[in-house]
C-alpha cells in the first residue's frame, strides 16, 4: 500500500516540524501526540509523507517532549533531528541542516497539519520542480483565514513577495484571504545559503521560516505559491476545538472511502472508525458503531448499533447484535454474537459459533458451531466444536493466585447453571447435569452430577399450613 508514487525520490527529503509545544491547546501532552482518528497527528503526517519518499528520507524535528514523540513514531522507521530549544520554525530547519543539506530539494511539512493528502504533496513537489523555484509555498483560501500567515503575491502571478504572520498584518493585508499552509518545498542550496539571515524581529522573538520568502526574493531567487484545491486539507490544529473538527473531517473521509468500497454505513456521522480499519464490501454498519485500532472485518457482516470492536479480526458473514464489545479477538465466518456479548482479549470464536446475551469470554476458543447463548463466563477455556454451554454456566478459572484451564471436548453438553472448577476437562460427548459443581474430570460420553440429590417430602407443605391454622384458632 505504501509504495512510492514518485520519480527521482532520492533527491528529495521530507522534513516534518514537530518540536513545538502547542501552548494554545492548554494540555500537558505535546501537540503532535494528540490523536485524531485513532492516531497521533504526527503519525498521519508521516503516513502521507511515506507515500512520497521512503521512511529513511523522512526527518522529524523533535524538541518539546522529544522522547515521547520519538517513541510514538519510531516504529514507522523515520529519522529524527533534535531541536533542543524551540526558537521558531526557521530555527527548526536550521537544526536539520547537517542531515538534509545534501539533498537537492526538501519538502517541509508541519506535524500539526494532518489532513494533507499524499497527492497534494506530490503536486507541490512537481510544481516546485517545474518552476525551478527556490521556495514553493502551499497555500489555501479557507472560509476563515484568521490566525494564519497570509501570502502576499506579486500582482496575482505565481510569484510571492512575502508571508506575513497574522499578528503583523497591516490593515489592508488583513483582507488577504490566501493563507500559508506551513507546507513548503525548498531547493536546499539557496535555503541554507540564506537561512542564517533570518531575524527575530517579531512579536515572539523567534526565527520564522516564513521570513525566508521575502529573504529569498530579496536575493533574486524564485519564490512561488501553489494553491491547494481543497482548503480543508491544510487546516492546522492549534486548539482542542480545531482538533475535534479535524477528527470529524478525518472520520468522515474514512467513512466516505469505506462507502465507496461497498460498505453500507447508515448514519456515518454517528460512527467512529479508525484510519487503519479495513471492512469488506456488503457489510452493514448501523448507527453508533465504533471500529477501532487495527480491526479487519470481512464481507456481508452486520454490525448493529452500539457495538465496539477493537484490534480484532472478523471473517465474513458475522452478525453482531446490539451492544457487543469485542477486543483483540478473532471471529470466524458465520458466528453470531450478542446482544451484549463481551469478547475479551485472546478469544477465538469459531465458524458459526454463538456467543449470546451477557456472555463473557476471555482467552477462550469456541470451536465451530459451539454455543453459549445466555449469561455465561468462559475464561481460559477451550470449548470444542458443537458444544452446548447452558445458561448461567461459569468457568471458575481463578483460585485467587493462578489461572487454570477448562477444556470442554467436542459435542459435550453443559447443563444450565453449572460451575466448572478449573483445571478440569469434560470429555467428548459427555453430559453435565444442570446445576452441577464440577471439580473432577468427566470422561467422554459420561453423565456427571455434581449436586446433592433432591429429596421430596410428600404432604409437608399441607401439614404445615394446617398446623398454623390450628395454632391461630387456639388463641
Ligand atoms: C505557522 C506559520 C504560519 C502558517 C501556519 C499554518 C510560522 C512562523 N508561521 O504558524 O504562517 O499559517 O503555520 O499552520 O512558521 N515547530 C518546531 N519548532 C519550533 C516551532 C514550531 O518544530 O521552534 C513546529 C510545531 O511543532 C508545528 C509547526 O512547527 O508542528 C508549526 O508551528 P506552530 O507554532 O504551530 O506555527 P503556527 O503559529 O501555526
Ligand atoms: Ca500550527
Model confidence over 368-419: pLDDT tens digits? 999 999 999 999 999 999 999 999 999 999 999 999 999 999 999 999 999 9
What integer is the mean pLDDT of 116-120? 97
Catalytic residues: 374
Could you give the C-alpha distances from 145 to 24, 314, 413, in angstroms and in order? Answer: 17, 44, 68
Q: Which atom of ligand 1 is nearest to the CA of 148?
A: 12
Band the pLDDT of 8: cuts 50, 70, 90: very low
Q: Which residue from 73, 89, 173 has its CB within 8 A of the most atoms of ligand 1, so it is best to mutate?
A: 89
How far away, in angstroms, is 385 Cα from ligand 1 center?
A: 59
CA 97 – CA 44 distance, rounded (Å): 24
Give the ligand 1 atom nearest the CA of 207: 8
CA of 20 to the centre of ligand 1 (A): 7
**Are 364 and 347 contacting, i.e. CB atoms less than 8 angstroms apart?**
yes
Which of ligand 1's atoms lies nearest the C-alpha of 86?
23
- Over residues 417-445, the mean pLDDT reads 98
Residue 346's contacts (CB-CB under 8 Å, 6 or more residues apart) are 328, 329, 362, 363, 364
Q: Which residue has 451484549 as its cell numbers?
A: 340
CA distance linking residue 206 with residue 86, whole number of Å: 9
Distance from the alpha carbon of residue 182 to the mean position of ligand 1, in angstroms: 7
Residues with CB under 6 A from ligand 1: 17-20, 61, 63, 83, 86-89, 91-92, 110-113, 148-149, 163, 165, 179-182, 208-210, 236, 238
Grid cell listed for 428: 467428548
Q: How far is the CA of 281 from the centre of ligand 1 (A)?
A: 41
The pLDDT tens digits for 335-353 are 999 999 999 999 999 999 9
Residue 222's alpha-carbon distances to 8, 11, 103, 277, 350, in angstroms, are 22, 19, 19, 43, 64
CB 51 within 8 Å of CB 118? yes
Taking CA atoms, 69 is separated from 66, 324, 368, in Å, by: 5, 34, 44
What's the predicted TM-score (pTM) here? 0.86
Average pLDDT, the chain: 95
Check pLDDT > 90 for residue 270: yes
How far apart (Å, rounded) are the C-alpha atoms in residues 49 and 16?
9
Amino acid at each position: 500500500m505504501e509504495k512510492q508514487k514518485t520519480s527521482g525520490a532520492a533527491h528529495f527529503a521530507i522534513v516534518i516540524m514537530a518540536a513545538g509545544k502547542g501552548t494554545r491547546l492548554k494540555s500537558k501532552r505535546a501537540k503532535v501526540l494528540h490523536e485524531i482518528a485513532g492516531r497521533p497527528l504526527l503519525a498521519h503526517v508521516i503516513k502521507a509523507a511515506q507515500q512520497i519518499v521512503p521512511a529513511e528520507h523522512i526527518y522529524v524535528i523533535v524538541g518539546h517532549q522529544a522522547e515521547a514523540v520519538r517513541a510514538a513514531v519510531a516504529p514507522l522507521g523515520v529519522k529524527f533531528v533534535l531541536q533542543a530549544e524551540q526558537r521558531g520554525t526557521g530555527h527548526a530547519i536550521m537544526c536539520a541542516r547537517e542531515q538534509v543539506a545534501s539533498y537537492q530539494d526538501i519538502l517541509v511539512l508541519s506535524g500539526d497539519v494532518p489532513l494533507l493528502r499524499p497527492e497534494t504533496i506530490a503536486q507541490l513537489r512537481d510544481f516546485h520542480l517545474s518552476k525551478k523555484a527556490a521556495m514553493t509555498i502551499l497555500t489555501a483560501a479557507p472560509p476563515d483565514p484568521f490566525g494564519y500567515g497570509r501570502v502576499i503575491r506579486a500582482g496575482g502571478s505565481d510569484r510571492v513577495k512575502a508571508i506575513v504572520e497574522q499578528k503583523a498584518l497591516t490593515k489592508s493585508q488583513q483582507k488577504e484571504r490566501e493563507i500559508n499552509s506551513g507546507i513548503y518545498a525548498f531547493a536546499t542550496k539557496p535555503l541554507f545559503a540564506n537561512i542564517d539571515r533570518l531575524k527575530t524581529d517579531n512579536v515572539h522573538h523567534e526565527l520564522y521560516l516564513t521570513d525566508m520568502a521575502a529573504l529569498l526574493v530579496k536575493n533574486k531567487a524564485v519564490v512561488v505559491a501553489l494553491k491547494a484545491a481543497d482548503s480543508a486539507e491544510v487546516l492546522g490544529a492549534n486548539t482542542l476545538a480545531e482538533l475535534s473538527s479535524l477528527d470529524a473531517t478525518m472520520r468522515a473521509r474514512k467513512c466516505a472511502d469505506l462507502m465507496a468500497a461497498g460498505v453500507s454505513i447508515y448514519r456515518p456521522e454517528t460512527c467512529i472508525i479508525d484510519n487503519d480499519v479495513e471492512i469488506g464490501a456488503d457489510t452493514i454498519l448501523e448507527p453508533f458503531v465504533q471500529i477501532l485500532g487495527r480491526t479487519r472485518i470481512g464481507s456481508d457482516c452486520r454490525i448493529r448499533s452500539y457495538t465496539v470492536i477493537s484490534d480484532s479480526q472478523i471473517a465474513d458473514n458475522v452478525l453482531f447484535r446490539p451492544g457487543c464489545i469485542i477486543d483483540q479477538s478473532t471471529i470466524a465466518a458465520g458466528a453470531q454474537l450478542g446482544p451484549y456479548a463481551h469478547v475479551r482479549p485472546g478469544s477465538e470464536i469459531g465458524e458459526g459459533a454463538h456467543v449470546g446475551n451477557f456472555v463473557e469470554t476471555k482467552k477462550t476458543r469456541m470451536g465451530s458451531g459451539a454455543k453459549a447463548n445466555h449469561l455465561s463466563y468462559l475464561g481460559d477455556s477451550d470449548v470444542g466444536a458443537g458444544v452446548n454451554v447452558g445458561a448461567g454456566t461459569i468457568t471458575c478459572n481463578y483460585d485467587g493466585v493462578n489461572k487454570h484451564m477448562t477444556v470442554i471436548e467436542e459435542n459435550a453438553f453443559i447443563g444450565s447453571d453449572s460451575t466448572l472448577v478449573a483445571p478440569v476437562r469434560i470429555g467428548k460427548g459427555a453430559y453435565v447435569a444442570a446445576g452441577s459443581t464440577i471439580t473432577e474430570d468427566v470422561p467422554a460420553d459420561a453423565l456427571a452430577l455434581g449436586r446433592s440429590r433432591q429429596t421430596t417430602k410428600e404432604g409437608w407443605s399441607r401439614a404445615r399450613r394446617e398446623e398454623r391454622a390450628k395454632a391461630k384458632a387456639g388463641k
